[in-house]
Structure 1
Amino acid sequence: MNMKTKAQVIAFANIGGGDAIQGVLKLIRTYPKEQRIVVVELPCVGLPRMAYTFDQQIADLSKERTVDQFLLDLDRKALKPMQSYMVQRSGIDYVLVNPRSQPEAPVIRKLSSNQTLISAPTVLRQQLEDSYDVIILVLQGS
């Protein structure tokens, strides 16, 4: 009998308010290549940082392929398959904050319910745990 273990979930933050991205990239390199890893950047009132760290391919991502769209769809109870919100770089899947989001009007202000933000990590785990070995939730910003 082949028993699949649950995905390891890691919440990664720099409590001091600094950029957590370099730490996340170092953490990813510690896993064996065959590990299926997804990184989800959870938005806040701060600026998107992860998309700016990558090459033009990710910097040019469309707003539909972002965590912003995931949250709006979750809020409307109209989720699409998780792959719809992802981009890939070097074998790692990413759900990123839209690099063109406006700091003065972040996606969290467009949600109809605070419950959406509270439930988002649980929904993400439920949607991703069967397809990935490691789920990294990046928490940063204000």
Structure 2
Amino acid sequence: MYQPQPRRRDRRPSRRVPPEAVRRRASPLTAAGADVVLVGYFSAKQKDFEAVMASAVAELAARGARVVVQIVQRRGVSDGGARKMGLPYSSRTLLSHGKVREVALACDRAEADAVIFVASLTGRQQRALTAMLGRPAVGLADILAAG
């Protein structure tokens, strides 16, 4: 008779932030008066990414936010990146680990209030990025819908 083995517990230290701490840190989805970091994630096939970023800056400015830093991650642009296009991106954070560190450093230097992603974020991505960056991380669509 088959008996399933007990699940092994992951022994890595947990970086999980309690949900109440994330809720406390997260602000309402209003951009008025906030200093924000704008992050775009684009494939190499999308040639008009600069226009998309400029449009996002204009939309945020119309809602009273001030974009203090813009960061773009383009996937598949370099030879090394083109080879990695077949590999899955991080569904947990949308960005690569190095780019998340770059965004966190830019947020700290600019003393940003929030991070706004041009791409839509899932609830899991929002929670993970909010915990990693130490400030609310939301998608641009959420800001535009709330405004």
Bigger relative contact order, structure 1 or 2, given CA contacts below 8 A and separation 6+? 1
User: TM-score, normalising length from structure 2?
Assistant: 0.33
User: TM-score, normalising length from structure 1?
Assistant: 0.34
* Greater helix proportion: 2
